[in-house]
Structure formats: structure tokens, C-alpha cells
Structure 1
Amino acid sequence: MKFFAAILLSLLVSACATQPEATNPPPSAAAGKTVDAGAPLVQQAGALIAAKKPAQALPVADQAIAYYERTYRKSATLVYSARWPTESMLYVVEGLNAKADSRVYGIEWGFAYFLKGFALVDLHRFPEARAAFDEAIKLSPRNSKYLSERAEVDIAERNWRPALEMFQKALEAAELSPPEVKTAETTRALRGMAFAQIELGNLDAAKALHERVLQLEPGNEKSLNELRYIQQQKARKK
């Protein structure tokens, strides 16, 4: 199982385009200026992964993570990393509901963990990848992309039921995805759920999920191909 490296550069662009005005920006180095020493490292790690160099990307992602953990971890009881204002405001509300001191930062912190997990998947180090994605999700619990990628680790390890449950969470989180990626993240979660249902032997449930994909993307080749596969499997059982 590999996450689609071809779309990583667009993911990086999307990350930069949708990042919120963090409720707690990086500390000031001088009057009127803010410094985020981790951001260039995140960009570098992403570029290395896009270039199919996961082994080189891994230590760079770790450097970014170390910077954010050192700089922000002790800033509050709850800390979040959000990619756009709606997600950021949701985390603010969750902190208020929990009656806890909370801080919401930009996308880079959680994205650094995501990139680490991505690199570890490419290196077939799945238990470590799972741990990295879990850290990304702790920081960004409503990020559908992170949840789907975490589910892919369960798929790789043939843990169909946990994968189905995680893709379901990704589907729910997609309701809050940025508009420009909402359909893509919704359909990815649906297709992931369908894959797990096929492996669990639930062909009718998988068929219904792919039909939902086609309602959103009528020409989705992956779902069209899977529906043909499901039809073939059902015909063999007659």
C-alpha cells in the first residue's frame, strides 16, 4: 500500500493555500515579524517524499516535529493543528467545551507528523507509520486526509474492521474539509470503506458505497472498476 505520491505536491500546495490564521502564531523574533523555523523543514520533507526519497525525508520530518514539540507542546493543556479557519474554530470550541486551556496552531505541526507517517509507509515500517499518523490525528482530529491515511495502514496489515471504522471517521470528518478538497476526501473515505467491506465479504454494502461515490463523481474510474469487480464476484456466487 502506498499513498499516491503523484498528488503529494498538490497536497503541499493545498496545505499552504488553506492554512488558517492560527489563533496562536509562532513566537515573535522581532517587532512585527514571526518566525516558524519548522515550516521550511516541512516543505523540504514533502519535496523529498514527492521525489520518492522517503529515507531522506524521514530525518527532516523528525527535525520539524522536534521543533514544534519543543516550541508549542507545553503552551496549553490541549493543542491543535488546523488547516483552515473552520477547523480552527471547531477546535477552539472543543477546548471551551472541555473547559481546558487550549491553543490552535497552523497546519505545519500536524502535517510534519503526517509526512513522517507517509515516509514510513513507503519504507514499509507500518507500526511506526501508525504511531506517526496517530500523533497527526491527535493534533488534527477532524482532518479527513489524516484519518484516511491512518486507515490505509490497517488495510496494509489486513485489519479490515479497524480500517472500516477509521474510514468511517474520515467520512464524517470530510464534512468539515475545505471546499476545494471536500469531494476528493469524501470519495476517498467512501472507497476505503467499500474496500474494507469487500474484504469482509459484504459485497452489497460495498456496492452501495461506490454508488455514493458516483453520485459525487459520476465518472470516477476507481469506483466504476470496483463495481464491475463486485458484479463479477456476485455472479460467481450464483
Structure 2
Amino acid sequence: MLMKSCAAVLLSLLLCACATKPEAESARPSMEAAKNANSADALVRRAAELVSSKKPTEALPLLDQAIAQYERAYRESGVLAYSARSAPETLLYALEGHKQNIRAQVYGVEWGLAYFLKGFALIDLGRIPEAKAAYEAAIKLSPRNSQYLSERGHIHALERDWLGSLQAFDEALRAVELTPPALNTREKTRALRGMAFAQVELGNLNAAKALHERVLQIDPANRMSVNELQYIKDQLAKRP
């Protein structure tokens, strides 16, 4: 089955991510912009609670309002804008601006989270194309956020684009090196399971088996991989 985080897990992830904001952000918004951003932060936290309570319709207006406030406060023409959840991620994005010889501004996690939550809410409402656009906006702000990249993989799976899904989850796995320690196991195993699911759909059962075995090396009690691994072994046993 396609993997979909439960509401309680989603909220815990979001709260943990908010608690791992960059120690020092490269951007220093004006007092008015900071006020708008703080208001938007509160909207994002409330929306996270609504999404976790399976109230996506109520969450969407709050998220649209928060996104509009972030865009007004932070978006500048000719400037690369990023949203990061850790100091290493902040540094990486700042260096990206240096490499491109373009000024880069790196803000806290909430801006990207607003788009991510919007995508999550839209998925719950079955509005897949809109969810895809929201996730892409989150990834543009946070291109090395493993959680966001895994949701891109999930969208590709919903579209039955198995190669695209495999590629997205592989990118998510490589991005785990920047994941805050408290989320590392969850995000790494999510990416590995996503890759395994795509490999099953592509008919590559041995590759899927190896991926689930990697999950269980990291998290021996991971019930999803335990069940999927047994299914794969049963299918392999039926082969001539």
C-alpha cells in the first residue's frame, strides 16, 4: 500500500521541525515584515493542528493567508529565497547563492512548512494536481528537505509514475544528511520504504527486498517493512 503518515505523526514531525529552527538565520527582515511573519507562524501552527485533526478544509484558508504574508514579507526580486530547519541546511542554501553569484536569503522553517501543509491538506481532499504544486513550492524553498522530497515521491506514486517516484525517494534519502537528528530515522526509513514500493511496482523484487532489509537494520521494529518484506519473500517464493 502507498504510505501515508497518520495525523498524529504529522503533527509531531511539524512540531519537532519547528523546534529545530536554524540557530542563526542569514535574513534580517524589517520590523513590519517580522511582525507579518510572526503572525503567519501562528497561522501555520494552528493549521498543523487542524490538518492533524483531519480538518483539511478548515486548514486551507489559514495556510493561504500565512503563505500570502510570507510572500509579502520575504519575497524579493532577484534574490534567492530559502526556508531551512537547521544550521547546516541554512549554510548550504547561503552557499548556493554564492555559487550562483546571487544574493540568497535564508529564513526559518515555517514558510516552507506552510506550502507543505497545504499540499498535505489537498492530498486529503483528493486534489492531487494542486497538492503537487504546493509540494513543489515547498521544495523550491527547501530543496534539501528530505520530508518534502518524500512527499514528491508519494505524489509520483499516486500518479503511477514509478521511475519518478523512485528518483524522488532516492533524492530524499540523500538529503537525510541534513535532517535534524530527532527526525533522521523516521525520514531515512520513509525514503527507503518509498524506494522499495516503487521497485516492487517496477518488478524489481530483489531490489525492494534489500531496501526493506536496510530499513530493518536501522529500525528493527518497523512494522511496515516487516510486513512488506514478508510479502516480497512470498512473491519471490512463487517464482519458478
- TM-score above 0.5, yes or no: yes
Deviation at 1:140, TM superposition (A): 0.1
Query: What is the aligned counterpart of 1:27 among 19, 27, 30?
Result: 30
Q: Residues 222-237 of structure 1 correspond to what in structure 2 (within 5 A)?
A: 222-237=224-239
**In 1: Cα distance, 2:78 partner to 2:107 partner:** 11
Contact between 1:76 and 1:103, CA under 8 Å: does it hold in 2?
no
Where 1:79 maps in the other structure, the secondary structure is: strand
Q: TM (normalized to structure 1)?
A: 0.94
What runs of 5+ residues in structure 2 fail to find an aligned partner?
none
**In 1: Cα distance, 2:88 partner to 2:36 partner:** 23
**In 2: Cα distance, 1:45 partner to 1:73 partner:** 22
Change (3 A) 1:75 1:26: farther
What runs of 5+ residues in structure 1 fail to find an aligned partner?
none
**In 2: Cα distance, 1:37 partner to 1:100 partner:** 29
Deviation at 1:12, TM superposition (A): 2.4
**In 1: Cα distance, 2:17 partner to 2:77 partner:** 23
Partner of 1:191: 193
* Alpha-carbon displacement from aligned partner over 1:71-115 (angstroms, at most 9, x marks no partner): 111165211000111110111111111111110000111010000
Where 2:39 maps in the other structure, the secondary structure is: coil
Partner of 1:160: 162
Contact between 1:26 and 1:34, CA under 8 Å: does it hold in 2?
no
Residue correspondences, number = 237
> In the alignment, does 2:181 pair up with 1:179?
yes
Q: Letter of the aligned partner of 1:154 in structure 2?
A: H
**In 1: Cα distance, 2:29 partner to 2:117 partner:** 21
Identity %: 57
**In 2: Cα distance, 1:209 partner to 1:27 partner:** 47
Q: Letter of the aligned partner of 1:187 in structure 2?
A: T
Change (3 A) 1:36 1:25: farther
Contact between 1:19 and 1:106, CA under 8 Å: does it hold in 2?
yes
RMSD over aligned Cα, in angstroms?
1.8
**In 2: Cα distance, 1:81 partner to 1:27 partner:** 17
Where 2:116 maps in the other structure, the secondary structure is: helix
* Alpha-carbon displacement from aligned partner over 1:39-73 (angstroms, at most 9, x marks no partner): 01111111110111001111111111111111111
* Alpha-carbon displacement from aligned partner over 1:14-60 (angstroms, at most 9, x marks no partner): 12210113211442259xx9962210111111111011100111111
> In the alignment, does 2:121 pair up with 1:101?
no
Q: Residues 63-212 of structure 1 correspond to what in structure 2 (within 5 A)?
A: 63-74=65-76, 76-212=78-214
Change (3 A) 1:191 1:65: same
Q: TM (normalized to structure 2)?
A: 0.94
Deviation at 1:154, TM superposition (A): 1.2
